[in-house]
Structure 1
């Protein structure tokens, strides 16, 4: 995965959430390979937020909650609009994969992890991201 320039959050997750993010990134790349699609990385757009971060964010984003799950290091956002193309090691040009196709593959990966009780997922239409919270292991 790649981390976006974080303007309203701090790059920190508790171990369970960090492991979940690693799994999502790995499963996403594996799914692309299995489907014969060129590799792309997911982009993390938000991670841990302080109360001041949320205050500033609420000026631009009505979804930002005063009781945000981002306060606990268990939650992160991943864009479903933007992805980062992985370049070929030998410099050969790789064919682009449409954002809609990448979004579909990512949604399948997230659906499978949600079904396995690994996380909660919220689809944020206006913000163009999946809001993902790690679940406690049972």
Structure 2
């Protein structure tokens, strides 16, 4: 199997003397200081003691709410040794066998890849509210219909697991899909004409999910606390806007900082979908990706959500 495509740098870790919780509290303090300054800066001069207290109460409630969201993520356990073994039960040979049964014939030249995908009935994929397709340099996002089913099934179950834990609907990231022989050679540093094993990426049936990149794209999220009664619209409107922006920024931050927890949830979803014969998955050792091949073909073109 050729190396996975680059999936971007890992998110920076907090300083050694600053725990994730402490880093979170520091973010909150800076955020709410900015909120108060912004409210004054928009020309609100009648910032009465009562209104100031209500704004402070709202900020405290929102801080507690977001702290609880992060706490829920911190309670997600790492994958066990048994679960990691389950994610390595289908090795490369299994992926290639499944790919050969469902995909297009491999193409050597990158220039011919798109035409071959068209002739083979592969369909284009695009990012959506559940899946982010990373800009790829060594593949194109064309796939068998079964890949769409597999992605929809992963999205449905991943979203359900997040909702059950009281978490926002974070997106996972696909980093690679259909490759030519040239793409494989460039990734592995070999000559395209050299004798080598096939990769399931050459058939349009296989994709990589990087388990270090998650984000929040404005999807469903737990309901934030309401603003206190008695807060006038002059304060409530800019405060609500600031709170919403802070919430979006916070979710983006913890999607990266708590990526290992989200990766564990995603890994367990892949195990159940392999058990249900929707896909086979391999947690690679040298690259931070789940290597996934659809086993659904064209026989069931709706996502398996149960």
Greater radius of gyration (CA): 2
SS of 2:142 mapped into structure 1:
coil
CA–CA separation in structure 1 for the residues paired with 2:218 and 2:146: 29
Report the TM-score, using the length of structure 1 for normalisation.
0.87
SS of 1:117 mapped into structure 2:
coil
Does structure 2 conserve the Cα–Cα contact (< 8 Å) formed by 1:42 and 1:78? Answer: yes
CA offsets, 1:70-128, max 9 Å, x none?
Answer: 11111000011111223368545054251111011101110110111111111112210
Aligned to 1:16: 146
Report the TM-score, using the length of structure 2 for normalisation.
0.41
Does structure 2 conserve the Cα–Cα contact (< 8 Å) formed by 1:54 and 1:66? Answer: no
Q: Within the alignment, does 1:78 sit opposite 2:209 as a pair? A: yes
2:187 to 46, 52, 57: 57
Does structure 2 conserve the Cα–Cα contact (< 8 Å) formed by 1:51 and 1:66? Answer: no
CA–CA separation in structure 2 for the residues paired with 1:28 and 1:128: 18
Gaps of 5+ in 1: none
Q: 1:73 to 1:83 in 2, by over 3 A?
A: same
CA–CA separation in structure 1 for the residues paired with 2:168 and 2:296: 33
Most deviating of 111-120 and 90-99: 90-99
Does structure 2 conserve the Cα–Cα contact (< 8 Å) formed by 1:39 and 1:85? Answer: yes
Q: Within the alignment, does 1:36 sit opposite 2:166 as a pair? A: yes
Gaps of 5+ in 2: 1-130, 191-195, 221-243, 300-306
- Provide the aligned C-alpha RMSD in A: 2.1
Instruction: Say how many residue pairs are matched.
Output: 134
Aligned to 2:277: 117
Name the structure where helix makes up a greater proportion of residues. Answer: 2
Name the structure where strand makes up a greater proportion of residues. Answer: 1
CA–CA separation in structure 1 for the residues paired with 2:290 and 2:261: 15
CA–CA separation in structure 2 for the residues paired with 1:43 and 1:3: 6
SS of 1:6 mapped into structure 2:
coil
